[in-house]
Amino acid sequence: QVQLQQSGAELVKPGTSVKLSCKASGYTFTSNHMNWIKQTTGQGLEWIGIINPGSGGTSYNVKFKGKATLTVDKSSSTAFMQLSSLTPEDSAVYYCARWHEGFAYWGQGTLVTVSS
Protein backbone atom coordinates (compact mmCIF):
# COMPACT_ATOMS: atom_id res chain seq x y z
CA GLN A 1 0.00 0.00 0.00
CA VAL A 2 1.10 3.57 -0.63
CA GLN A 3 2.89 5.13 2.31
CA LEU A 4 4.59 8.48 2.76
CA GLN A 5 6.78 8.50 5.87
CA GLN A 6 7.92 11.94 6.96
CA SER A 7 10.82 12.86 9.21
CA GLY A 8 10.37 13.82 12.83
CA ALA A 9 9.58 17.11 14.51
CA GLU A 10 12.15 19.90 14.35
CA LEU A 11 12.92 22.72 16.78
CA VAL A 12 15.10 25.23 14.99
CA LYS A 13 16.43 28.72 15.60
CA PRO A 14 15.46 31.79 13.61
CA GLY A 15 17.70 32.48 10.65
CA THR A 16 18.70 28.86 10.17
CA SER A 17 17.55 26.25 7.63
CA VAL A 18 15.90 22.87 7.97
CA LYS A 19 15.54 19.96 5.54
CA LEU A 20 12.46 17.74 5.80
CA SER A 21 12.15 14.33 4.21
CA CYS A 22 9.31 12.20 2.86
CA LYS A 23 10.08 8.56 2.05
CA ALA A 24 7.66 6.95 -0.39
CA SER A 25 6.84 3.26 -0.61
CA GLY A 26 4.23 1.01 -2.17
CA TYR A 27 4.35 2.53 -5.64
CA THR A 28 6.75 3.62 -8.37
CA PHE A 29 8.25 6.82 -6.96
CA THR A 30 8.71 8.48 -10.34
CA SER A 31 5.13 7.87 -11.50
CA ASN A 32 3.44 10.65 -9.55
CA HIS A 33 4.29 14.24 -8.70
CA MET A 34 4.98 15.06 -5.06
CA ASN A 35 3.68 18.17 -3.36
CA TRP A 36 4.41 19.97 -0.12
CA ILE A 37 1.72 21.71 1.91
CA LYS A 38 1.92 23.95 4.97
CA GLN A 39 -0.72 23.98 7.69
CA THR A 40 -1.05 26.58 10.40
CA THR A 41 -3.94 27.51 12.66
CA GLY A 42 -3.98 31.04 11.32
CA GLN A 43 -3.42 30.56 7.58
CA GLY A 44 -4.94 27.10 7.14
CA LEU A 45 -3.63 24.91 4.33
CA GLU A 46 -1.21 26.44 1.82
CA TRP A 47 0.28 24.72 -1.20
CA ILE A 48 4.04 25.25 -1.34
CA GLY A 49 5.05 23.53 -4.55
CA ILE A 50 5.32 20.40 -6.64
CA ILE A 51 8.16 18.28 -7.93
CA ASN A 52 8.30 15.70 -10.69
CA PRO A 53 10.44 12.92 -9.18
CA GLY A 54 11.35 11.60 -12.60
CA SER A 55 12.78 14.78 -14.06
CA GLY A 56 13.38 16.83 -10.93
CA GLY A 57 11.32 19.63 -12.44
CA THR A 58 9.65 21.92 -9.92
CA SER A 59 6.95 24.55 -9.68
CA TYR A 60 6.48 26.79 -6.67
CA ASN A 61 3.76 28.94 -5.21
CA VAL A 62 5.18 32.44 -5.67
CA LYS A 63 4.68 33.01 -1.94
CA PHE A 64 7.24 30.29 -1.14
CA LYS A 65 9.84 31.00 -3.81
CA GLY A 66 13.11 31.63 -2.07
CA LYS A 67 11.79 30.02 1.10
CA ALA A 68 11.35 26.40 0.00
CA THR A 69 13.54 24.22 -2.21
CA LEU A 70 12.21 20.85 -3.37
CA THR A 71 14.47 17.97 -4.35
CA VAL A 72 14.30 14.18 -4.63
CA ASP A 73 16.62 11.22 -4.31
CA LYS A 74 15.31 8.58 -6.70
CA SER A 75 17.64 5.93 -5.33
CA SER A 76 15.88 6.04 -1.95
CA SER A 77 12.42 7.13 -3.18
CA THR A 78 12.63 10.15 -0.93
CA ALA A 79 11.47 13.69 -1.46
CA PHE A 80 12.99 16.59 0.43
CA MET A 81 12.02 20.14 1.22
CA GLN A 82 14.56 22.63 2.53
CA LEU A 83 13.24 25.74 4.26
CA SER A 84 15.67 28.61 4.60
CA SER A 85 16.02 31.82 6.62
CA LEU A 86 13.48 30.55 9.09
CA THR A 87 11.27 32.93 11.08
CA PRO A 88 8.53 32.22 13.63
CA GLU A 89 6.01 32.56 10.76
CA ASP A 90 7.47 29.35 9.31
CA SER A 91 6.34 27.39 12.37
CA ALA A 92 3.78 24.93 11.06
CA VAL A 93 3.00 21.35 10.21
CA TYR A 94 4.39 20.48 6.80
CA TYR A 95 2.93 17.65 4.74
CA CYS A 96 4.11 15.87 1.65
CA ALA A 97 1.28 14.65 -0.56
CA ARG A 98 1.21 12.58 -3.71
CA TRP A 99 -0.82 14.05 -6.53
CA HIS A 100 -3.30 12.04 -8.56
CA GLU A 101 -6.52 13.87 -9.35
CA GLY A 102 -6.30 15.46 -5.94
CA PHE A 103 -3.88 14.95 -3.07
CA ALA A 104 -4.64 11.27 -2.82
CA TYR A 105 -2.00 10.30 -0.27
CA TRP A 106 -0.52 12.35 2.53
CA GLY A 107 2.37 11.89 4.89
CA GLN A 108 1.72 12.14 8.60
CA GLY A 109 3.18 15.63 8.74
CA THR A 110 6.29 17.17 10.29
CA LEU A 111 5.95 19.83 12.97
CA VAL A 112 8.51 22.61 12.59
CA THR A 113 8.87 25.03 15.47
CA VAL A 114 11.03 28.11 14.96
CA SER A 115 12.08 29.59 18.27
CA SER A 116 15.17 31.02 19.89
Partner 1 sequence: DTVLTQSPALAVSPGERVTISCRASESVSTLMHWYQQKPGQQPTLLIYLASNLESGVPARFSGSGSGTDFTLTIDPVEADDTATYYCQQSWNDPFTFGSGTKLEIK
By the criterion CB under 8 A, which residues form the site for partner 1? 35, 44-47, 59, 61-63, 95, 101-104, 106-109
Transcribe 6-17 into DSSP letters.
Answer: EPPPEEE-TT--
- Cβ–Cβ contacts within 10 Å for residue 72, how many? 22
CB of 47 to partner 1, least distance (A): 4
Q: Are 82 and 17 in contact (CB under 8 A)?
A: yes
Residues 61 and 37: beta-carbon distance below 8 Å: no
Cα–Cα distance, 102 to 22 (Å, whole number): 18
Name the residue nearer to partner 1 (CB basis): 74 or 104.
104
CB of 81 to partner 1, least distance (A): 16
Least Å distance, CB 116 to partner 1, is: 27
Burial of 115 (0-12, 13-18, 19+ CB in 10 A): exposed
Using the minimum distance from each CB to partner 1, give the nearer residue, 44 or 75: 44
- Least separation in angstroms between residue 24's CB and partner 1 is 15
Q: Toward partner 1, which CB reaches closer, 54 or 109?
A: 109
Nearer to partner 1 by Cβ, of 102 and 116: the residue is 102
